Amino acid sequence: MATQETDASSPSVGGGTRTYDIIVVGAGTSGCYAAATAAHEGLDVAVVERKPAQEAGHIACGDALKGADEFPDSIPKSQIESAFTNTIVDHGRFEIPAEDTVLDIPVPGELAVIDRLEYGRLLIEGAEKAGVEFHYDTVVKDVHQDETGRVTGVDAMRQGEPITYEADVTIDAAGALSILQDNADLSGATFDTNVQYSQFSSGYREIIEVDEPVEWSDALVFKPTERASGYLWYFPRTETEINVGLGFQMNEEPMKLVDDLRRDVRNRPELKNARVTDKLGAALPTRRPYDSAVAPGFLAVGDAAGHVNPTTGGGIAGAAYAGQYAAQEAIDAISGGDLGEGALWEYNSRIMDHFGGRYAALDVYNIFTTAYDLGDLMALLAALPGEQLAEALYEGSTDISLPLKLKTAVKTFGHWKTIYDLYQTKDLADRLLDHYGDYPSSPGEFETWRTDRDDVMDEIYATTGADPKY
């Protein structure tokens, strides 16, 4: 049990040292599911969250949830379903102004648009019901490691007082560009430290209300910005309440996010007299999942491990399962008395098998877009049927038959070099997906696997002409 009184809602809970089985840093999707999974098994778990209680769960997000029917049992769907404000969305709508084209893109699986703040609050409530303690206003400052390099907890400031959290296992759910990874020495582990700003995007979103229902309340609307590195979205929470946002790759020249978004909103007649009710910005991974997200006594989950579809930014359902998998492997490691990398390794394998390999293949298309002119890319998108585009955006692979290749070639006259490179890139993405299917079963095989993966990546860079991303 915790070593001191742990009423997380009490201002009197301050400094000292506290000991738990598991410490989770961050109260987002992956953090809440990790904590709830462990608490259900009787472990002492605390979540430390930098925001105050009233702001916890307030996260910059597109609010679109793919895989709305798939959530772990530790916080069941019934606990959070009241935050699903729009369940009639069933497809994507990709607007290509330069080609005077709108593509309808079927999206596999159940979709929903959510009230992200309410969803976050319900997650926390579900984890609390499982027995998890939440310590708000707690900002992590440093990571503790023993003489072997095993992570043993964190130092933080809680409500202005220093506090130390000791734990058998620390789970990093602190989001993109996590401070824990900045402060921990992970050089002796397989943990992926090849993390750079070029692998992330900067995003900004607003919640707006309009007077009249929008015609596309059953769709997720996507639109390119004026350059290939930018993207823009309109996701309807209801017929008159819309999540609008945009972002750009951090290695590109910065966009004026607020001004650019407001300009686009003003140019849409259906959003006349739009009123902003909330606004927030954040960093978002647009990269493949970490090659390894484990180190002795330490696991990373969700955005802190790159668990986001790099072509769409979607990551809520995957984060939930990442949290569950991390907690389950931590429970087994604690029970077995072995907190080393090998004891936690199955977490990596489960991630790669569930969605990690697919996301790594999708990242190839993200890399592809950085190397080509926006006009070429939009002409190519306008020529592809929605089914193939949906598979490319969500599955990491798609079938392109000879008749389809000929039809696309005719429609993209003048852009044949780009489409030829896309076909070559598609074959390489398939090879990469196959390689992730052979993800190593132990740390001892990891370096060989990674070297072979990097050989495929070198071919991808050579084919696309893109600058190396990793």
Percent of the chain scoring above 90 in pLDDT:
68
What is the mean predicted confidence (pLDDT) over 313-341? Answer: 96
Residue with tokens 């909103």: 265
| Sheet of strand 111-114, all strands in order from the earlier edge strand to the far edge | 64-66, 111-114, 84-86
Quick one: pLDDT at residue 396? 56
Q: What is the pTM of this model?
A: 0.90
Band of pLDDT at residue 106, cut at 50, 70 and 90: confident
Band of pLDDT at residue 376, cut at 50, 70 and 90: low
Q: Which of 225, 178, 185, 216 is nearest to 200 (CA)?
A: 178
Residue 439 scores a pLDDT above 60: yes
What is the mean predicted confidence (pLDDT) over 402-426? Answer: 58
- Exposed, middle or buried by CB within 10 Å (0-12, 13-18, 19+), for 386? middle
- Work out the angle between the directed axes of helices 357-369 and 446-464 (0-180°, nearest 10): 30
Contact criterion met (CB below 8 Å) for 320 and 33: yes
Residue 13 scores a pLDDT above 70: no
Set out the domains of the chain in order of their start, with CATH numbers. 16-62+119-197+287-354 (3.50.50.60), 87-113+198-285 (3.30.9.10), 357-464 (no CATH)
Q: Per residue in 206-230, pLDDT tens?
A: 999 999 999 999 999 998 887 656 7
Band of pLDDT at residue 109, cut at 50, 70 and 90: confident
What is the mean predicted confidence (pLDDT) over 129-144? Answer: 97
Band of pLDDT at residue 409, cut at 50, 70 and 90: very low
- Beta-bridge partner residues of 145: 151
Residue 403 scores a pLDDT above 90: no
> Residue type for 212, please?
E
Cα–Cα distances in angstroms (integers) from residue 389 to residues 107, 158, 399, 413, in the given order: 10, 47, 10, 19
Which residues are within 8 A (CB) of 156 and not within 5 positions of it... i.e. 6 or more apart?
Answer: 48, 138, 139, 140, 141, 162, 163, 164, 165
Contact criterion met (CB below 8 Å) for 37 and 323: yes
